[in-house]
């Protein structure tokens, strides 16, 4: 809402400033020597309200598209399922993401560092939205590259005791990796 208000204010402000570059005339005494040409002045009667509304609607369009883009971030992913399980000395991290025909689901459980974090539903999807678009893997990705990509994207430490990764791509290809320290 604040963005729309700022955008509306900016459009009105810029519209009021005009687009003509008129240099000021210096006063050479007490006489008023300012010249105003009738063609350069726009009165409020000349402003077409329909054109102003169209300009506002056009300026609001990118905001609506941006909202749609953030809502459908999962449509741009190359994979349908991601499972990451990491066991550490002080706890574990488990993240599950699944996309079923337009309905993404996610769960995150993190018990590292003495804390217990359980996210599901929209909260888990919001967290995955920050992580999964950054996960740059393909079915041809090597196990070592997969390991590094997942650790980096999920912000996990590499001092795990066990790491299991399973990614299923939209074309039904699968990428798996298991590592024990």
In a domain, residue 5? The reply is: no
In a domain, residue 123? The reply is: yes
The reported pTM is 0.61
Range(s) of the domain holding residue 86: 78-180
In a domain, residue 72? The reply is: no
Residue 45 DSSP code: G
DSSP 75-144: GG-SEEEEEEEEEETTEEEEEEEEEETTEEEEEEEE-GGG--EEEEHHHHHHHHHHHGGG----TT--HH
In a domain, residue 24? The reply is: no
Give the count of domains, the chain. Answer: 1
In a domain, residue 58? The reply is: no
In a domain, residue 7? The reply is: no
- From first to last of the 181 residues of the chain, give the pLDDT tens digit: 434 434 444 444 444 555 555 555 555 555 555 555 555 554 545 555 555 555 555 554 444 444 444 568 889 999 999 999 999 999 999 999 999 877 899 999 999 988 999 999 999 999 999 999 999 999 999 999 999 999 999 999 999 999 999 999 999 999 999 999 8
In a domain, residue 103? The reply is: yes
In a domain, residue 82? The reply is: yes
């Amino acid at each position: 809402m604040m963005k729309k208000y700022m955008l509306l204010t900016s459009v009105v402000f810029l519209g009021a400033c005009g687009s003509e570059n008129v240099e000021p005339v210096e006063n050479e005494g007490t006489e008023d020597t300012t010249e105003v040409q009738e063609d350069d002045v726009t009165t409020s009667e000349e402003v077409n309200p329909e054109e102003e509304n169209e300009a506002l609607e056009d300026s609001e369009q990118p905001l609506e598209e941006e909202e749609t883009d953030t809502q459908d971030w999962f449509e741009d992913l190359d994979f349908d399922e991601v499972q990451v399980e990491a066991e550490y000395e002080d706890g574990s991290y488990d993240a599950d993401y699944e996309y079923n025909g337009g309905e993404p689901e996610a769960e995150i459980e993190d018990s590292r560092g003495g804390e217990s974090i359980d996210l599901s539903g929209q909260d888990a999807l919001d967290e995955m939205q920050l992580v999964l678009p950054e996960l740059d893997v393909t079915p041809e990705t090597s196990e070592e590259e997969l390991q590094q990509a997942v650790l980096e994207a999920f912000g996990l430490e590499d001092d795990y005791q066990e790491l299991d990764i399973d990614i299923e791509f939209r074309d039904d290809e699968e990428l798996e990796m298991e590592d024990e320290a």
